[in-house]
Amino acid sequence: MELPYHPNEELESVITNLLALVDDDPLREGLRDTPARVAKAWRHWCGGYRVDIAELMKVFEDGAEHYDQMVVRKDIPVYSHCEHHLAPIIGRCTIAYIPDGKVIGLSKLDRLADAFARRLQVQERLTSQIADALVEHLQPLGVGVWVSARHLCVESRGVQHTNSETITTALRGCIRERDAARAEFLALARS
């Protein structure tokens, strides 16, 4: 799949120009195929812009429509890039919702997280977008999203050589408002 508005060759030439500016020998053998590889990698890393969220969130009719307890997917891998430095954000995500008649396949939660992660992001927005998509398309009683991630732009620069994690949460509906539901979700996410 192509990045919107940017043909392959255009992206490759941007990378060629970047190499000429950052490397002291940009014509060496090891960098020969780098522009094509990097262009391909960025099309993947930004592939989330092209995911149709409504299509992805199509409701799954399997007889579980009357299930009304918390559904939780824990430790979904998150690979994103920060929009300030284009540096990797690497982490994991726990997504929970309490259905109100509409349920989706569990793997869809992984794909939802991936669709928003594979964009240029800030962690707070990534977390909210996942929660808001579930609210919009499933109208559940409650949603909880918990993201824990490392930011290479923070860790690799300056004096902050740390592997500390940044945690963000987005709570909606009864998981936000009811103490017991909120505590249940946060305990599951942190465990």
Instruction: Give the residue ranges of the annotated binding site for Zn(2+).
Output: 82, 85, 153
| Known active-site residue 85 | yes
Residues at the binding site are 82, 85, 153
Q: Could you give the 3-state DSSP secondary structure of residue 5?
A: coil
**What does DSSP assign to residue 141?**
S
Residues forming contacts to Zn ion in the complex (CB under 5 A) are: 82, 84-85, 153
In whole angstroms, the minimum distance from the beta carbon of 122 to Zn ion comes to: 8
In whole angstroms, the minimum distance from the beta carbon of 142 to Zn ion comes to: 31
**Considering all CA atoms of the chain, what is the largest pairwise distance in Å, rounded to the nearest integer?**
63
Q: Which residue among the candidates 81, 82, 121, 184 is catalytic per the annotation?
A: 82
* Residue 137 token pair: 């398309």
In whole angstroms, the minimum distance from the beta carbon of 89 to Zn ion comes to: 8
Q: Which of 80, 94 has the CB closer to Zn ion?
A: 80
Separation CA 191–CA 189 (nearest Å): 6
Q: Which of 84, 190 has the CB closer to Zn ion?
A: 84
| Known active-site residue 82 | yes
Which residue's CB atom is positioned nearest to Zn ion?
153
| Known active-site residue 153 | yes
Q: How many angstroms separate the Cα of 50 from the Cα of each of 3, 7, 18, 38? A: 8, 15, 26, 19
| Known active-site residue 69 | no
Q: Which residue among the candidates 123, 137, 174, 184 is catalytic per the annotation?
A: 123
| Known active-site residue 93 | no
* Residue 72 token pair: 């939780």
Cα dihedral sign for 157, 125, 129, 2? Answer: negative
Separation CA 102–CA 61 (nearest Å): 8
Pairing type for strands 166-173 and 71-82 reads unpaired
Q: Which of 90, 153 has the CB closer to Zn ion?
A: 153
Separation CA 80–CA 89 (nearest Å): 5
In whole angstroms, the minimum distance from the beta carbon of 87 to Zn ion comes to: 5
| Known active-site residue 151 | yes
Q: Which residue among the candidates 9, 83, 165, 177 is catalytic per the annotation?
A: 83
Residues annotated as catalytic (active site), given as ranges: 82-85, 123, 151, 153
